[in-house]
């Protein structure tokens, strides 16, 4: 797997205030990387450094295996981005807006406009003036503009901000489709855990300028698994019965009667019956587990991101 982006000890300070601190992040080819952090965490600052829009105070950025410093233009040819709210000429239609951008940037050809509009589902609306566009359509037009030069990496700063749930869902579907069909790698920031959770295969959690964790979605799911939290008269005997009668070893003995069963969550009745039938009393049983939200709250010391 190719590494698309790697930062090492990336730092940005304004005066005495460090807003991004020693950040090591890695985005691999094909990732949909969710860059999660509450407002003020330093997401935009980080993305702006990666785009070469502001200069780091310390640390390095590598894009496509090459240091950004000294190779900015080459790197940017392979990147599409929406960092700030995309501005458009409201009295012009979508196609003309893209054409102006294309000529200004000296890239692509006219066909690339149709292609980009098609990719974001705006081909039908291409002759409509942008002022008649909904916010969701404008966002999609922003994506189309970022796609004009066929980038390998799309960097999107809170692309679903301000959209209603329907619009958010459409955006997620668009990103997944672009990733799948065109093999585009995504770096997407958000302050909403629920957004990132439904989209990303890799999540970087930024808190007060520090990357607390960079984790695969699958690993994160395992850490936040649900279980049946049992209190029984004899946990060792209970474990033996679970293995013999239910054929599961997916449990953890917690001591003093405690046992966590990660299996058969939908059959607490069966579990308690089998234990009782085999001479183990069940004092208590409940469904437990950290939600992703709980996990995130613990990591950030109780400050919610949403």
Ligand X SMILES: Nc1ncnc2c1ncn2[C@@H]1O[C@H](COP(=O)(O)OP(=O)(O)O)[C@@H](O)[C@H]1O
Applying CB under 5 A, the residues found at the interface with Mg ion are: 43-44
Q: Which parts of the chain fold into alpha helices (H)?
A: 43-50, 72-76, 94-105, 110-119, 135-147, 165-182, 193-197, 217-223, 235-246, 268-277, 292-299
The answer to whether 196 contacts ligand X (rule: CB under 6 A) is no
The answer to whether 41 contacts ligand X (rule: CB under 6 A) is yes
Which of 5, 23, 33, 43 is the binder for ligand X (CB under 6 A)? 43
- DSSP per-residue codes, 150-213: --SEEEEESTTTT--HHHHHHHHHHHHHHHHHH--EEEEEES-HHHHHTT-SEEEEEETTEEEE
By rule CB under 6 A, what count of residues binds ligand X? 10
Q: Are 115 and 97 within 8 A, CB to CB? A: no
Q: What is the C-alpha to C-alpha distance for residues 306 and 287, in angstroms, rounded to an integer? A: 25
Distance of alpha carbon 103 from its chain centroid, rounded? 33
Q: What is the C-alpha to C-alpha distance for residues 146 and 162, in angstroms, rounded to an integer? A: 19
Residue 41 interacts, among ligand X, Mg ion, none and using kind-specific CB cut-offs from 5 to 8 Å, with ligand X
Provide the minimum distance between the beta carbon of 19 and ligand X in the complex, in angstroms, as a whole number: 3
Q: Which lies closer to Mg ion via its Cβ, residue 43 or residue 101?
A: 43
The answer to whether 34 contacts ligand X (rule: CB under 6 A) is no
Provide the minimum distance between the beta carbon of 242 and ligand X in the complex, in angstroms, as a whole number: 46
Q: Residue 24: what are its φ and ψ, rounded to 5°?
A: -115, 110
Residue 40 interacts, among ligand X, Mg ion, none and using kind-specific CB cut-offs from 5 to 8 Å, with ligand X
The answer to whether 40 contacts ligand X (rule: CB under 6 A) is yes
Distance of alpha carbon 241 from its chain centroid, rounded? 41
Map tokens 């700063």 to a residue. 157
Which residues within the stretch 213-242 sit at the binding site for ligand X (CB under 6 A)? none
Which residues within the stretch 95-114 sit at the binding site for ligand X (CB under 6 A)? none
The DSSP secondary-structure symbol of 12 reads: E
Which of 1, 16, 39, 302 is the binder for ligand X (CB under 6 A)? 39
The DSSP secondary-structure symbol of 57 reads: S
In three-state secondary structure terms, 79 is strand
**Tokens at 248, concatenated:** 């599961």
Q: Which lies closer to ligand X via its Cβ, residue 128 or residue 194?
A: 194
Q: Which lies closer to ligand X via its Cβ, residue 107 or residue 306?
A: 306
Q: Which lies closer to Mg ion via its Cβ, residue 44 or residue 305?
A: 44
Q: How far apart are the first and last CA of the chain?
A: 33
The answer to whether 52 contacts ligand X (rule: CB under 6 A) is no
Q: What is the C-alpha to C-alpha distance for residues 204 and 210, in angstroms, rounded to an integer? A: 10
The DSSP secondary-structure symbol of 123 reads: S
Binding mask 115-154 for ligand X (x = CB under 6 A): ----------------------------------------
Q: Which lies closer to ligand X via its Cβ, residue 200 or residue 241?
A: 200
Residue 14 interacts, among Mg ion, ligand X, none and using kind-specific CB cut-offs from 5 to 8 Å, with ligand X
Provide the minimum distance between the beta carbon of 186 and ligand X in the complex, in angstroms, as a whole number: 17
Give the range of 34-42, 111-119, 237-245, 259-267 binding ligand X by CB under 6 A.
34-42
Map tokens 């409940």 to a residue. 286
The answer to whether 42 contacts ligand X (rule: CB under 6 A) is yes
Which residues within the stretch 5-24 sit at the binding site for ligand X (CB under 6 A)? 14, 19
Query: Which residues make up the interface to ligand X (CB under 6 A)?
Result: 14, 19, 37, 39-45
């Amino acid at each position: 797997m190719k590494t698309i982006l790697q930062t090492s000890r990336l730092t940005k300070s304004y005066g005495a205030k460090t807003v991004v601190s020693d950040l090591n992040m890695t985005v691999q080819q094909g990732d949909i990387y969710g860059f999660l952090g509450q407002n003020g965490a330093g997401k935009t600052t980080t993305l702006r450094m990666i785009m070469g829009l502001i200069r780091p105070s310390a640390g390095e950025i590598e894009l496509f295996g090459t240091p950004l410093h000294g190779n900015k233009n080459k790197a940017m040819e392979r990147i599409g981005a929406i960092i700030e709210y995309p501005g458009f000429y409201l009295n012009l239609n979508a196609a003309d807006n893209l054409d102006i951008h294309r000529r200004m940037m000296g890239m692509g050809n006219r066909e690339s406009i149709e292609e980009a509009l098609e990719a974001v589902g705006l081909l039908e609306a291409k002759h409509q003036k942008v002022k008649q566009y909904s916010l969701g359509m404008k966002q999609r037009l922003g994506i189309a503009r970022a796609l004009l030069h066929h980038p390998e990496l799309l960097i999107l700063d809170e692309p679903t901000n301000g959209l209603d749930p329907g619009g958010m869902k459409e955006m997620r579907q668009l990103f997944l489709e672009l990733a799948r069909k065109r093999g585009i790698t995504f770096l997407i920031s958000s302050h909403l855990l629920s957004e990132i959770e439904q989209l990303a295969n890799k999540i970087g959690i930024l808190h007060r300028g520090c990357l607390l964790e960079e984790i695969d979605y699958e690993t994160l799911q395992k850490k936040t698994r649900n279980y049946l939290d049992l209190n029984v008269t004899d946990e060792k005997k209970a474990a033996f019965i679970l293995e013999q009668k239910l054929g599961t070893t997916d449990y953890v003995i917690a001591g003093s009667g405690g046992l966590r069963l990660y299996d058969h969550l939908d059959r607490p009745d069966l579990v308690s019956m089998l234990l009782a039938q085999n001479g183990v009393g069940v004092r208590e049983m409940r469904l437990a587990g950290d939600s992703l939200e709980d996990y995130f709250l613990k990591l950030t010391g109780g400050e919610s991101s949403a």
